Amino acid sequence: MIVALLCGMKKQAFVLAVRTWEPGTVREVDLHLPDCDMTHWDRTLHLECKVGRMTYRDYTPSGWDAETRTCSLLIHTAHNGPGSRWARQLRAGDIISYRGPGSSHHVPAVGKELVFLGDETAIGHFLALRQLAGKDARITGAVALTEPHHRVEFNEYFPGWEVKTVRKDEAAGYAALGRWVEGLAVSDHPDAVFYLAGQHSAVSGLRKLLRQRGYAREQVRVQGFWG
């Protein structure tokens, strides 16, 4: 059964809390989804949130609790688009409309090293994968972040996680992540499965680079978000 059918369409969620990563371009939004059965969530999903009149944007729920029917969205708000403007004005007590959830098809590979590669837009997606993979999964990788303070917050927020932060020196983060990939030796990560998430052109470039480095097609899984 398609997971989206479990929660139906055009549901309401209640904003429980909002936290901001200074200087304010990343927001964590805690939601209560009273009509959503999360017990069947076995892959990364997305909520299609209404951010304006006839306008929707997809966000990956992470840190969900099936018993309380709560989850969090981690939203990058640096872009001056309808999704960013909507997320910047959210406050505790607000009610939002959403469709789904729908599947984004990423499932953590069992018994493999999971390597995450993305930027600020992908953090929530990676947190969902980590929750699905379980506490014993080996997770490495790199996340490109623009703000120096966000790199500090990331390392403090996820202590012990082997995903490194790199300086994002252009819009898509491809250059910084590409340099990180070029430093890998295939022989050191023979069973790795790479999860790429973020801007379509950036993750496509990373996929091509990984294939050129010798990784097999089935070792590279891509989720493009926008542009």
* The pLDDT of residue 7 is above 60: no
Helix H or strand E encompassing 128: helix 123-133
For the stretch 146-203, pLDDT in tens is 888 888 888 887 777 889 999 987 665 688 999 999 988 888 888 999 999 988 888 9
pLDDT at 174: 80
- Residue 42 carries which side chain, given as an amino acid letter? D
Rounded to whole angstroms, how far apart are CA atoms 121 and 147? 13
Helix H or strand E encompassing 176: helix 174-182
Helix H or strand E encompassing 202: helix 200-212
Q: Which two tokens stand for residue 161?
A: 């996680």
- % pLDDT > 90, the chain: 68
Domains of the chain in start order, with CATH, are 4-103 (2.40.30.10), 114-224 (3.40.50.80)
For the stretch 71-94, pLDDT in tens is 999 999 988 899 999 999 999 999
More confident residue, 151 or 46: 46
User: Can you give 143-156 as a three-state secondary structure string?
Assistant: EEECCHHHHHHHHH
Query: For 128-151, what is the mean pLDDT?
Result: 92
- % pLDDT > 70, the chain: 93
- DSSP 3-state assignment of 123? helix
Question: Which residue, chain included where needed, has tokens 């470039």?
Answer: 205
In this predicted structure, which of 7-11, 38-42, 140-144, 208-212 has the lowest mean pLDDT? 7-11
- DSSP 3-state assignment of 203? helix
pLDDT at 6: 44
pTM of the model: 0.91
How many other C-beta atoms lie within 10 A of the C-beta of residue 129? Answer: 25
Confidence of residue 5 (pLDDT cuts 50, 70, 90): very low
* The pLDDT of residue 119 is above 50: yes
* The pLDDT of residue 226 is above 80: no
